[in-house]
Amino acid sequence: MYRLAIFDLDGTLADSLRDLAEAVNNSLASFGYPTHTVEAYKYFVGNGAKKLCERALPEDKKTDAEIQRLLTHFGEYYSTHCFDHTVPYDGMQDTVKRLTEAGVICAVASNKPDDFSQIVVERLYGSGLFSLVRGKRDGVPTKPSPDIVYDICRELDIPSGEAVFIGDSCVDVQTAHNAGLPCIGCVWGFRGEQELRDSGCDILAYKPEELFDLIRR
């Protein structure tokens, strides 16, 4: 049994794609730029809010100043609309609860800004299920850098060899492997089975309920 289960947030614990897409599209439209389908945002997210905004901008507008302008507008809008449609994936709340009751320590490692990560986890999962929530913080590289994993293991005083990473994208698989952890890929997330397989994911889960046995085996 793994002692520590580290979960990605968006696309793994939280079905948040529509709110992310609508927040960026609102910002793009405000600046007179073309918007994108919700489906397109599956491939824009994953590397943090700044990269999300960069990917959404027109090719000839991807300057540092314009990325920052869009990022600021996006943050202001998203802060009041991040729960318009965002919900936990069916079965995830019960699965995390079962894991904690079985003695598995659960944590969150996200590229979403740290303040938003804390708010989303608290709103969707309450307090007590996750021992530690870490989002993007100043001075700490985003995933797939392993720094966030190392920080979580250190703060919880658990060797990385007793941890597993759970995520839905190539970024999560790379993060896990960069940190020397196995990765369980969530097929229900934003990116799907093929990307997880192509990224070298160690184990696939097709529904949240499967995670309990995969983590405790």
Question: Which segments of the chain are extended strands (E)?
Answer: 4-7, 14-15, 87-88, 105-113, 132-136, 163-167, 183-186, 203-205
11 — alpha (psi -120 to 50), left (phi > 0) or beta?
A: left
- Which residues are CB-contacts of 154 (< 8 A; sequence separation ≥ 6)? none
C-beta neighbour count of 75 within 10 angstroms = 16
Characterize 95-130 residue by residue with b for buried, 16 or more Cβ atoms within 10 angstroms of its Cβ, and e for exposed: bbbebbeeebbbbbbbbbbeebbbbbbeebbeeebb
Question: Catalytic site residue 8?
Answer: yes
Q: Please report, for residues 105, 152, 186, the alpha-carbon distance to residue 102 in angstroms, rounded to integers and kept in the order given.
A: 9, 20, 21
Characterize 17-48 residue by residue with b for buried, 16 or more Cβ atoms within 10 angstroms of its Cβ, and e for exposed: bebbbbbbbbbbeeeebeebeeeebbebbbbb
Query: 8, 19, 147, 168: which one is catalytic?
Result: 8
Catalytic residues: 8
